[in-house]
């Protein structure tokens, strides 16, 4: 391969990093993933996690995990634990777990430094008053009457705030920047507010908490983060980020913004996801229809698929909506390689092979994974009474060129076993097929078929006496609309059929040995994983995703 062919293109952040490394600005890179522990991680966060950790890996740098825990009202240790579990599940590890709250003392000292430099002041005005005075993008703010308080008074007041001598909302520390700035964030932003809510890590030690803008850049700086990656909505914060770093004279981390991930047919707003949970449209944050990482894990999405997907979507600054089909493709691609095949019948109908001896059970050999010889083979019981899927039989099938499966007088192969011919069937009063009768050709056994017979259709099946029962949950898209987030009320696009429960599926017995979270392919059906609600008495299985189905497409 020539050097020419070897060339892979870099996205804009990689280019920045390579330039910084080449120019000697940095000798190594440091990134970070900085979630606020106020909820569960979703597929959008996965993009950021993969970006930050993979960048660090590629350039032999490090990626920190830092919890941005500056708002005690919304944050909980449960979320901290959940987020760490999700990142580990995704396949990433970090060194020491870091918290912005570890920097509260330093941040406080920096605030004092700003006050002493005349760059910050304590404002007694209410939030409403401050907002009213902020002006508009084209008209400057009106200065707070407290803007020119003496440094000594500011120091006293801020100390009192810290000590809890003032009520919430009565005072705030503001940076003194530029009241006429076209960037509203520069018009004397609040940098410290009073909160008496106990913090999940620092308890009641503090009564003042830094705002995001006064905490994030400085935390990056403390950790010597070289490239601080965040989403586009923080673009307008960059001047502030840089202002604090400059005024404080600390390590100049660089903020770089990229476009967040949006997925078609999906919602990734934490607030809206919470609505889904609270209003009971889903069973919880880990309902397998949710776009959260916990839900995807429960549904059987392999972490490698999410990593691959995150890499495939690219990194740029353009607003985007990724086709959810790309995620599904990544899931199938991974599972096709890794999931063992088993036999499962979702909507069983009994098939009796009338010329097969009653009571006889023979073992046939089934391949565990046709793409992976090392996965081996397993014996499968075959007998006179089997289950096949209702959809594999048609009373009045179209031409054999169109419909390969079973119908009156049609022949198909039962995979790994014999070719059979349908000889009849029973119906109930409602017209449902209740029993299919067939005969088998003894000389067509897989492996030593001497018949020379050729059939177009191959069916999956389960031997009835040995079959086990399971409840199977079939998931479809939660929303019918390809961009529910853009709707006035995203709930109007909820797909009423996003969950279908199959109560009496019949499976080969080996499925009972699977553990929670293990994923297999039911041949010709899709990928399925053992749900956490499974008990020793009740097997509950989630359909991770169906196979690509060109037959279903043809039928439309």
Partner RNA sequence: UGACCCAUGGUGUAACUGGCAACACGUCUGAUUUUGGUUCAGAAGAGUCUAGGUUCGAGCCCUAGUGGGUCAACCA
Kindly state whether residue 405 participates in binding RNA, applying the rule CB under 7 A: yes
Select 30 or 460, whichever has its Cβ closest to RNA: 460
Q: Interface residues for RNA in 461-520 (CB under 7 A)? A: none
Q: Which of 97, 142, 156, 170 touches RNA (CB under 7 A)?
A: 170
Collapsing DSSP to helix, strand or coil, 473 comes out as strand
Q: Which of 45, 176, 237, 384 touches RNA (CB under 7 A)?
A: 237
Q: Interface residues for RNA in 336-395 (CB under 7 A)? A: 336, 341, 369-371
Measure the CA–CA gap between 488 and 493, rounded to whole angstroms. Answer: 10
Select 174 or 289, whichever has its Cβ closest to RNA: 174
Q: Reply yes or no on whether 260 is catalytic.
A: yes
- Catalytic site residue from 14, 36, 197, 385: 36
Alpha-carbon separation of residue 229 from 37, 83, 236, 238, 260 (angstroms)? 18, 18, 14, 11, 11
User: What DSSP assignment string belongs to 327-358?
Assistant: HHHHHHHHHHHHPEEE-EESSEEEEEETTSPT
Kindly state whether residue 182 participates in binding RNA, applying the rule CB under 7 A: yes
| Other residues' Cβ atoms within 10 Å of the Cβ of residue 536 | 6
In angstroms, what is the minimal distance from the CB of 30 to RNA? 19
Tokens found for residue 30: 């440091």
Kindly state whether residue 49 participates in binding RNA, applying the rule CB under 7 A: no
- Catalytic site residue from 74, 134, 260, 272: 260
Select 112 or 375, whichever has its Cβ closest to RNA: 375
> At residue 341, what are phi and psi to the nearest 5 degrees?
-90, 140
> At residue 334, what are phi and psi to the nearest 5 degrees?
-70, -50
Give the number of residues in contact with RNA, rule: CB under 7 A: 97
Kindly state whether residue 524 participates in binding RNA, applying the rule CB under 7 A: yes
Q: Point out which span in 87-95, 154-162, 187-195, 500-508 binds RNA (CB under 7 A).
A: 187-195
User: What DSSP assignment string belongs to 254-283?
Assistant: EEEEEPPP-BTT----HHHHHHHHHTTSSS
Kindly state whether residue 165 participates in binding RNA, applying the rule CB under 7 A: no
Q: Interface residues for RNA in 247-286 (CB under 7 A)? A: 259, 264
Beta bridge partners of 367: 377
Q: Which of 78, 279, 442, 549 touches RNA (CB under 7 A)?
A: 549
Tokens found for residue 219: 């935390």
In angstroms, what is the minimal distance from the CB of 19 to RNA? 10
Q: Point out which span in 162-170, 199-207, 299-307, 425-433 binds RNA (CB under 7 A).
A: 162-170
Tokens found for residue 136: 């508009």
Run of H or E residues at 470: strand 468-475
Using CA atoms of 66, 68, 73, 75 in order, give the dihedral in degrees to the nearest 10. -30
**How deeply is 1 buried, as exposed, middle or buried, from its count of CB atoms within 10 A (0-12, 13-18, 19+)?**
exposed
Q: What is the largest CA-CA distance in the chain?
A: 102
Q: Using an 8 Å Cβ cutoff, are 51 and 229 in contact?
A: yes
Q: Which of 164, 284, 314, 381 touches RNA (CB under 7 A)?
A: 314
Q: Which of 93, 136, 396, 535 touches RNA (CB under 7 A)?
A: 136
Q: Which of 20, 385, 449, 471 touches RNA (CB under 7 A)?
A: 449
Select 405 or 534, whichever has its Cβ closest to RNA: 405
User: What DSSP assignment string belongs to 370-424?
Assistant: TT-GGG-EEEEEEESEEEEEGGGB-SS---TTT--SB-TT-EEEETTS-EEEEEE
Q: Which of 235, 373, 426, 442 touches RNA (CB under 7 A)?
A: 235
Select 141 or 494, whichever has its Cβ closest to RNA: 141
Q: Point out which span in 52-60, 226-234, 348-356, 423-431 binds RNA (CB under 7 A).
A: 226-234
In angstroms, what is the minimal distance from the CB of 107 to RNA? 11
Select 287 or 545, whichever has its Cβ closest to RNA: 545
**Edge-to-edge strands of the sheet including 462-463?**
458-459, 411-414, 419-427, 433-440, 348-353, 385-389, 462-463
Q: Interface residues for RNA in 64-123 (CB under 7 A)? A: 68, 70-71, 74, 123
Select 233 or 469, whichever has its Cβ closest to RNA: 233
Select 247 or 449, whichever has its Cβ closest to RNA: 449
Strands 411-414 and 526-530: unpaired
Select 258 or 285, whichever has its Cβ closest to RNA: 258
Q: Interface residues for RNA in 318-337 (CB under 7 A)? A: 318-323, 325-326, 329, 332-333, 336
Measure the CA–CA gap between 232 and 76, rounded to whole angstroms. Answer: 26
Select 107 or 467, whichever has its Cβ closest to RNA: 107
Q: Reply yes or no on whether 36 is catalytic.
A: yes
In angstroms, what is the minimal distance from the CB of 331 to RNA? 10
Measure the CA–CA gap between 420 and 439, rounded to whole angstroms. Answer: 6
Q: Point out which span in 150-158, 279-287, 497-505, 542-550 binds RNA (CB under 7 A).
A: 542-550
Tokens found for residue 522: 């039911």
Using CA atoms of 159, 161, 165, 169 in order, give the dihedral in degrees to the nearest 10. 170
Q: Point out which span in 110-118, 277-285, 350-358, 439-447 binds RNA (CB under 7 A).
A: 439-447
Kindly state whether residue 551 participates in binding RNA, applying the rule CB under 7 A: yes
Measure the CA–CA gap between 229 and 471, rounded to whole angstroms. Answer: 44
Q: Interface residues for RNA in 287-306 (CB under 7 A)? A: none
Measure the CA–CA gap between 212 and 218, rounded to whole angstroms. Answer: 10
Q: Point out which span in 245-253, 274-282, 284-292, 545-553 binds RNA (CB under 7 A).
A: 545-553
- Catalytic site residue from 76, 224, 270, 350: 270
Kindly state whether residue 441 participates in binding RNA, applying the rule CB under 7 A: no
Strands 97-99 and 62-67: parallel
Q: Using an 8 Å Cβ cutoff, are 293 and 83 in contact?
A: no
Q: Reply yes or no on whether 4 is catalytic.
A: no
Which residues have a catalytic role annotated? 36, 260, 270
């Amino acid at each position: 391969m020539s050097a020419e062919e070897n060339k892979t293109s870099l996205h804009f952040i990689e280019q920045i990093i390579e330039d910084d490394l080449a120019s000697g600005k940095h000798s190594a890179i440091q990134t970070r993933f900085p979630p606020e522990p106020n909820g569960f991680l979703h597929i959008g966060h996965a993009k950021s996690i993969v970006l930050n950790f993979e960048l660090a890996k590629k350039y032999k740098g490090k990626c920190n995990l830092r919890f941005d825990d500056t708002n005690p009202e919304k944050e909980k240790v449960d979320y901290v634990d959940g987020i760490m579990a999700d990142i580990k599940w995704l396949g990433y590890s970090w060194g020491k777990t870091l918290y912005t709250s570890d920097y509260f003392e330093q941040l406080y000292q920096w605030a004092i430094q700003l006050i002493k430099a005349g760059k910050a002041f304590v404002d007694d005005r209410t939030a409403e008053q401050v907002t009213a005075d902020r002006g508009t993008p084209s008209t400057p703010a009106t200065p707070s009457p407290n803007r020119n308080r003496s440094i000594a008074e500011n120091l006293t007041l801020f100390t009192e705030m810290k000590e809890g001598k003032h009520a919430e909302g009565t005072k705030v520390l503001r940076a003194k920047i530029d009241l006429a700035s076209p960037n509203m964030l520069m018009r004397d932003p609040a940098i410290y507010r009073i909160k008496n809510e106990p913090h999940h890590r620092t308890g009641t030690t503090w009564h003042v908490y830094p705002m995001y803008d006064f905490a994030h850049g400085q935390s990056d700086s403390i950790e010597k983060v070289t490239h601080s990656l965040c989403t586009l909505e923080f673009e307008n914060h960059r001047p502030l980020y840089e202002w604090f770093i400059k005024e404080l004279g600390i390590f100049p981390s660089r903020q770089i913004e990229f476009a967040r991930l949006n997925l078609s047919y999906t919602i990734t707003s934490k607030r809206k996801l919470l609505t889904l949970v609270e209003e009971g449209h889903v069973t919880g944050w880990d309902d397998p229809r949710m776009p959260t990482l916990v839900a995807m894990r429960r549904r059987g999405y392999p972490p490698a698929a999410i990593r691959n997907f995150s890499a495939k979507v690219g990194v740029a600054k353009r607003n985007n909506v990724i086709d959810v089909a790309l995620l599904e493709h990544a899931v199938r691609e991974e599972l096709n390689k890794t999931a063992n095949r088993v036999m499962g019948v979702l909507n069983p109908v009994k098939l009796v092979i009338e010329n097969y001896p009653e009571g006889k059970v023979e073992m046939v050999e089934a391949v565990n994974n046709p793409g992976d010889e090392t996965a081996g083979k397993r014996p499968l019981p075959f007998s006179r009474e089997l289950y096949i899927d209702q959809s594999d039989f048609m009373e009045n099938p179209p031409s054999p060129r169109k419909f390969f499966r079973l119908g009156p007088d049609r022949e198909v192969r039962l995979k790994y076993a014999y070719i059979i011919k349908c000889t009849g069937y029973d119906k109930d009063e409602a017209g449902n097929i209740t029993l299919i009768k067939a005969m088998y050709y003894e000389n067509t056994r897989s492996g030593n078929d001497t018949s020379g017979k050729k059939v177009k259709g191959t069916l999956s099946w389960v031997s009835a006496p040995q079959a086990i029962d399971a409840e199977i949950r079939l998931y479809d898209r939660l929303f019918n609309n390809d961009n529910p987030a853009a709707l006035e009320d995203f709930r109007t696009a909820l797909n009423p059929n996003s969950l279908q429960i199959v109560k009496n599926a019949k499976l080969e017995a080996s499925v009972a040995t699977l553990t929670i979270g293990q994923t297999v392919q039911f041949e010709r059906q899709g990928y399925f994983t053992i749900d956490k609600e499974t008990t020793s008495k009740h097997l509950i299985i989630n359909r991770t995703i169906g196979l690509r189905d060109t037959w279903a497409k043809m039928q439309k």
